[in-house]
Chain A
Amino acid sequence: MTSLALAGIGKSYGRKVVLADVSHTFAPGLTLITGASGAGKSTLLRLIATAEKPTRGTLSWNEAKLPGARARLRRVLGYAPQAVDLPEDLTAREFAMHIAALKGLSLAGADKQFAAITDAIGLHADINNRIASFSGGMRRRLIFAQAMLGEPEVLALDEPTAELDGETARKLGALILDRAKSAIVVMTTHLADELAPHAVATLRVIDGKVG
C-alpha cells in the first residue's frame, strides 16, 4: 500500500520556528489540515509537496526517504499551491498542456482529461481564453485542474475552494473525494466541517504543532 510518512519534521526560517516535530503517516484517502491563519498549514503542505525542504526530520515515500526518493514522489504528485505566477499570455489549455509535458503525460490524453475536469468544474467554455482574462475563481479552478492531470497518487491541495461559490466548491469537492478513493489527498481548507465526515484524518495545526 502506498504511504507518505513524516517523521519528526520541523521547519524554521532563521530563528522563527514554523513547524516543530510533526510525525504522521498518510494513507490513501482524504486528510484535512486545519488551523488558524499563520499556524503553519501551508508550510506543512509545501513540505509534503516537496516545495520546501524540512529543517529537521525526514519525509518518506513508500518507505524510501527523501531526498533520495524525491523524484519518485514528484512523478506521482499533483500539487495546487495557493498562489501561482500564472503565464497570463497563455490560454488555460496551453498552460495545462505545458504542465502535462512537465509531468511526462501523453499530451493527447491530458488534453481529453483536462477537458473533462474543466467541464466538471464549470471552466470548460473558457479553456481557449487567455489566463489574463480570468477572474480569481477561474484561476483557482485552473490551478486545481492542472494538479488533477494524470492519476496523481499524492494530491496536495492548498485551499482549493477559496474564492469559489458554494455550488462550484461542491463540484470540486466531488472530484477530490473521487480521487481520494485511490490516492493520498492532503488538503488545507476552511471548509473542514463539510469535508470532515469523508476524511480519514484531520490534522489541526496550532502554533506549529500538530494536534
Chain B
Amino acid sequence: MSTLAITASSLSTSLARYWRSWGLWVLLLIAPVAARYMVRIDGGGVIIAIDSHLPTMTSAFLGVSLGIVVSTLVLPIGWLYLRSNTTRRQPWQIEENTAASRIAIGLGRFAADCVVMLGMLAALTAAGWFLGWLLIPDQLKLFEITYALWLVAAPSLIGLCALRILFDARPMLRSGFGDFLYFVLWIASIAVPAAMAGKPASLAANMLDFAGFVTPLQYGAPGEVGDFVISIGGVPVEPGFIQLDVMAGLASPGYIESRLLWIVIAVALVVLAGLIYHPHRVRRRAMSARWLAALTQPGAPPRANPNAPPARHAMAGALNLVIAEFRLIGSGRVFLAFAASVVALSYFADFRMIGSPAALLVLIFSLSAHAGRSEARGLLALTRMAWFSPMARRAAFVVAGAGWTTLLALPALARAPALETLATAASTGAIAAAVASSLATLSGSGFAPRLVLLVLWYGYSSYSG
C-alpha cells in the first residue's frame, strides 16, 4: 500500500474542501483587516511598550507587530476554523476500517492545514507591506517585514495545525474538553515567555517563546537583558520613543534554531497522533468508575400510561418554551453537580471575581452544547414548521440563560442583596446565551460558541472593573 498515495489523497481532498468553503475567504481577510486596526504608529490599537515607551516603527518591528496579531488573534480563530469548519466532517466510519496508515492520513491533512494557515500568513504579509508603505514609506524594507513576520508566526501556525491533528486522535481531545485544553495552551503560550525575563539568549530560553514575539523585543532592546519591562496590550505609555534593533533580536543565539525546532516538534506531534490514534467508538465504562457512570446515567424513564390522553396546548406557550429551554440547558447530572458547587461558592466568595465567572464557566459548556444541538440543520428544518419559530426559541434560550445565571447568583444575593449583583448575573447569562445562539446559528454547531465564549470568559474573569 502506498503511504505516499494516502498522504497525497488526504492532502488533495482536504485542499479541495477548503477551497470550496466560504470560510477560507473570511479567514484570509481577518488577519489583514485586524492588522490595519491593531498596528498603529502612534500607539493606538494594541500597544507594545518597552519600559513604558513605544518602540520606533521600523520594517522589522512592523513584522514582529504583525506576528503579535497572529499570536493574539489568529491562533484562536485559526483553531476555530480548522476544527469547526469544512473538514470537521470526515467519513471515519469507513476510513477507520481500511488498513491505511493513520500517520499517512494525518500528514496529508496536516499539510493541507499548513497550506491554508501559511496562505493566510502570506495575505498578512501583503497587508504588512501595504501598512509599511502607509506608516514608514521612507524606511520600507519588504524583506525585513517578511523575514520578521514569518520567523515569528510561521512556526506557531504550523504548531497550531499539528495540535489540530493531535487533538483529533483521542476521543477526549475531540470533545469540548479538547477546546478547553487548547484555550489553556494558547493562554499559556502567551504567558510562559515571561519566564524568559532576565535570562541570556539561548536555545532553552527561546524554546519557552512558542508565540515567538518576545525574543525579538527582549534581545533587541538597548541595555542589558532584564533592565526593562515589556508590556503588550492597553498599557499607559510615556512620551518619547525607544529604539529597538529587532533584526539583532531575531539573530540572537538560539532563536532561529528554536523556531526550526518548533516545526520539527509539530511534525513529530502529527506522527505521534497517528501512533496514538483511537477510533471513534462507543467506549466501555471502566468498572472502577461505576460512580461516574451512575452519575452520568439519565435515570429511569417515567412510568408509561397507555391511556395517556393527547397533549393539549399550554396555557402560556411562551413561558412553557422558556421553561423547556431552561431544563434543556441544565440537563444532565454532571451539570447539576457543578451548578450545586457554584451555588455554594457564590455564597462564600466574592461574586464579581469568583461567583459570577464560576457560574459562567459552567454555563458556557451547557449553553454552547444546547445551542449547537438546537441549530443542527436537520432539526432546524423540522422546527421551522413548529408553532413557535426558531427565532422565538432563540429568544427563550436567551431568557433561560439569564435565568440560570440569576438562579446561581441567589446565594450571593441572599448574603448581600444588591441590584448590581442581580443586573450582573442576569446580563452576563443573557449575553452569553445570545452569543452562543448567534454563533451556533451561523456555524450550525456548538463548537464556535464554546471557543468564543471561553475567550470572552477569560477577558471577563480577568477584568476587575
A residues whose Cβ falls under 8 Å from a Cβ of B: 12-14, 49-53, 55, 71, 74-75, 77, 79, 81, 83-90, 94-95, 97-99, 101-104, 107, 130, 143, 146-147
How far is B90's CA from A95's CA once the two chains are assembled, in angstroms? 10
Query: 7 tightest A-B contacts by CB?
Result: A101-B9, A104-B1, A102-B100, A74-B99, A102-B98, A81-B93, A85-B89
Do residues B100 and A14 form an inter-chain contact, with CB atoms below 8 A? no
> Which of B2, B98, B99, B285 has a CB less than 8 Å from the CB of A14?
B285
How far is B96's CA from A49's CA once the two chains are assembled, in angstroms? 10
Cβ contacts under 8 Å, B16 to chain A = 89-90, 94
User: Is B86 at the interface (CB under 8 A from chain A)?
Assistant: yes
11 new A-B pairs (CB below 8 Å) besides A52-B281, A74-B99, A77-B98? A51-B93, A51-B96, A51-B279, A89-B17, A90-B13, A95-B91, A99-B91, A101-B10, A103-B100, A143-B94, A147-B94
Known: A74-B98, A98-B13, A101-B6. A55 touches B93 (CB 8 A): no
Could you count the A-B residue pairs with CB atoms below 8 Å apart for me: how many are there? 93
Do residues A101 and B8 form an inter-chain contact, with CB atoms below 8 A? yes
Interface range on chain B: under 10, 10 to 19, 20 to 34, or 35 or more? Answer: 20 to 34
Do residues A102 and B281 form an inter-chain contact, with CB atoms below 8 A? no
> Which of A13, A84, A104 has a CB less than 8 Å from the CB of B94?
A84
How far is B10's CA from A87's CA once the two chains are assembled, in angstroms? 12
Do residues B89 and A99 form an inter-chain contact, with CB atoms below 8 A? no
Give the Cβ gap from A43 to chain B, nearest Cβ, in Å. Answer: 10
Do residues A102 and B20 form an inter-chain contact, with CB atoms below 8 A? no
Cβ contacts under 8 Å, A12 to chain B = 284
User: Is B350 at the interface (CB under 8 A from chain A)?
Assistant: no
How far is B21's CA from A104's CA once the two chains are assembled, in angstroms? 28
Do residues A81 and B94 form an inter-chain contact, with CB atoms below 8 A? yes
Known: A12-B284, A102-B6, A103-B98. A87 touches B93 (CB 8 A): no
> Which of A51, A85, A89 has a CB less than 8 Å from the CB of B86?
A89
How far is B16's CA from A143's CA once the two chains are assembled, in angstroms? 20
Measured CB to CB, the nearest residue on chain B to A104 is B1
User: Is B293 at the interface (CB under 8 A from chain A)?
Assistant: yes
User: Is B105 at the interface (CB under 8 A from chain A)?
Assistant: yes
Do residues B105 and A14 form an inter-chain contact, with CB atoms below 8 A? no
